[in-house]
Chains A and B, each alone.
Chain A
Amino acid sequence: MHEQRDFDRFLHAVDVDGAIAETSHQRQLVLSRRGLLAGALAGPGALLLGGSEARAASGLSANDVGILNYALVLEYLQASFYTEAERSGALSGKTAQAAQVVGATERAHVKAFQKLLGAKAVKRPLFDFQGVTEAQQAFLKTAVAFEDLAVAAYKGQAPKLQSNAVLAAAVGIHSVEARHAAWVRELFGVTPAVNAFDKPATKQSINHIVASTHFIVAHPKMKARSRPQYTG
């Protein structure tokens, strides 16, 4: 099946230490078309972005707006993934608890970036997770891939940020994504911290990997809207 091959390629691409491949044949992924996630849940309370929030997009360079929108798409992807997994009812025990905490955090990241970017925030794409939110093992495997990917993505962009306020917020999110990665790895039964040095990934390679999943089914063009959208 086409989607199965694409998804396997995606897992292979992000499986830097072979941890996912190790267990990949233990369970078949449940692949099924399902309805798209519409809207999003309200995120938890205020973010810890402090003074940077007040800047909105007005004080940001085009370079930083581009990086923040790229981060926002990755956060949309993660937030929608966890929200859909929670709603599917397929998760139980510690995995369900982790999904709830991590999902709330990713939704909070989405809200923070939307607030920071204001009218320049890219719209939420439409997602089709192709069944990986409907079975616990498939969910965990994908979560490991997403979180490791997010860590590498933030790491690749952090040194390129021009605003110190944005950089301070971004590094605080980067390390949280690493905590998530270790947490879901532990739940999936693979080593949470494999190497002494975590490698960055370029925007190009991240985009390529994300595109290969076909999880994003429609991606509105980035353009200014008349007013900021605060729905998480």
Chain B
Amino acid sequence: MAPSAAETRTTDARSRLQLIVAGGVGLTAASPILRALLGTGAADAASKSEDLRILQLVLLLEYTQVALYERALNEASLTGELRDFAQIALGHERQHLAAVKQALGSKAGPKPRFEFGLKTKSADAFRETAIKLEDIAVAGYNGQATNLTKPTLAVAAEIVSVEARHAAWVRAIADEVAAPDPVDKPMTASEVAAGLREIGLRTS
């Protein structure tokens, strides 16, 4: 790994995250991303409230991903490339979660519970669950693309391709075709919610 390039990227991502994070506590920063995420920009009222509604769904999605990876790393005796994958993906999902949480600020919904059952208890079960969950993430973000304001779409696009990379990576580890479709099919918000529930999300 060339340290200079890697460090540059990490610093860049972190500072951008801090920018988003700062927004959640009510800064008057000029970033269009911030304004969009906060709903305090020039976008019309319907779009702003729609962004916030969608971010609540995204919050649940990112909470679910963080929880799955955390528990699997604790409980599933992961080894080799699958363990590397889980650790790296967890780091990414934590950053996504922090960004979304802070963007929602006081409007962020409460941290949900999870009942993963056997899904985090073995490497095989975790791997198959991770494939499903990352596919839901990709389909969920893609499904909301046309409902988001453009600045929020730009941020979502930076996240969704990382979820897609995770999906392909864990498929490659499973020796499956890593990119089975020519175009990823979107999911509606209710399909995403049902998918997350099936994996173990409990919101009540």
Contacts and interface: CB of A to CB of B under 8 A. Distances in A.
Contacts of A151: 161
Contacts, number: 181
Interface string B1-31: 1111110011011001100000000000000
Contact of B146 (A47, A108, A164, A187): A164
A175 B184 contact: yes
Given A48-B185, A196-B95, A178 B146 contact: no
Residue among B92, B141, B146, B178 with the highest chain A CB neighbour number at 10 A: B178
Nearest to A173: B183
A113 to B, nearest CB: 12
Given A17-B6, A102-B179, A186-B172, A155 B1 contact: no
Interface in B95-129: 95-96
B89 interface: yes
Given A47-B183, A178-B168, A197-B16, A15 B178 contact: no
Interface stretch (B72-80, B151-159, B193-201): B151-159
B71 to A, nearest CB: 20
Contacts of B160: 171, 174-175, 178
A195 B92 CA distance: 7
Contact of A18 (B6, B16, B88, B141): B6
B166 interface: yes
A198 B161 contact: yes
Nearest to A109: B182
A18 B2 contact: yes
B67 interface: no
B164 interface: yes
Instruction: Return the 9 tightest CB-CB contacts between A and B, nearest first.
Output: A18-B2, A179-B179, A178-B164, A178-B161, A193-B165, A196-B95, A182-B168, A179-B168, A183-B178
Given A186-B173, A197-B162, 4 more contacts: A48-B185, A182-B167, A198-B159, A200-B158
10 contacts: A176-B184, A178-B160, A179-B184, A181-B168, A186-B169, A195-B10, A196-B159, A198-B162, A198-B165, A200-B158
Interface of A: 15-19, 21-22, 44, 47-49, 97-98, 101-102, 104-105, 108-109, 112, 151, 155, 158-159, 164, 167-169, 171-183, 186-187, 191-200
